[in-house]
Structure 1
Amino acid sequence: MNKMGKSRRKRKDKWGNRMTLIGITFVVFSLAVTVTIKGATLKEKERYYAARMESLQTQVDKEQQRAKELEDYRIYVQTKQYIEEVAKQKLGLVKPDEILLKPSERQ
């Protein structure tokens, strides 16, 4: 009976070792699947953020160009040439040595 008990114990231990090995394999496989899925999700987010960053960089470039144009316009508005143009167009003023010609109103 002593030999029979040891034999059963060995089989039971072998079965336990197999179950442990199967359990560990299942856990490792589960972790691998989880990491793969999360990795794919992160890659998708990375692509989205890269596209968004490119779009925002384009907007920043446009706004910098617009700011430069506004600065150039601000400088132009402060020139004598601009003041004379506005005075002629909106106020109808002329320089003392200029002759103003108006078209006749014949029909």
Structure 2
Amino acid sequence: MFGISLIVLILILTLMAQSRDLKESLAGYETRAEALSQQIEEEQARTQEIEDLKQYMLTDEYAEQAAREKLGLVKENEIIFQEEK
């Protein structure tokens, strides 16, 4: 009877130790899941910014701005001021 009680006690202690280890693993996985969720939200925001920029680049306003900056084009009757060197 004592032997059986000892074996049952050992089994219960083993199960408790494994349960504790599983809880620690679960907490680690939950932390990782939260971090990944945050990363997904950041990437979705970045994707939206890229999509907005893509839509802006299709407008005439962007084409005009690019022509002014890169090619130095100006509108009619527009005066350009330059600094003296």
Whole-angstrom distance in 2 between the partners of 1:40 and 1:88: 66
Show the counterpart of 2:21.
41
- Larger RCO, structures 1/2 (Cα 8 Å, 6+ apart): 2
1:1-107 to structure 2, matched below 5 A, reads 21-95=1-75, 97-103=76-82, 105=84
Structure 1 stretches of at least 4 aligned residues deviating more than 6 Å after TM superposition: none
Whole-angstrom distance in 2 between the partners of 1:54 and 1:86: 41
For structure 2, list consecutive stretches of 5 or more residues without a partner in the other structure. none
For structure 1, list consecutive stretches of 5 or more residues without a partner in the other structure. 1-20
Whole-angstrom distance in 1 between the partners of 2:65 and 2:38: 35
State how many pairs are aligned: 85
* 1:27 partner letter: I
Whole-angstrom distance in 2 between the partners of 1:58 and 1:48: 16
Measured after TM superposition, the shift of residue 104 of structure 1 is 5.1
Larger Rg: 1
Measured after TM superposition, the shift of residue 101 of structure 1 is 1.8
SS at match of 1:101: coil
Whole-angstrom distance in 2 between the partners of 1:100 and 1:67: 39
How many percent identity over aligned positions?
36
Whole-angstrom distance in 2 between the partners of 1:42 and 1:51: 14
Q: What is the TM-score with the length of structure 1 in the denominator?
A: 0.75
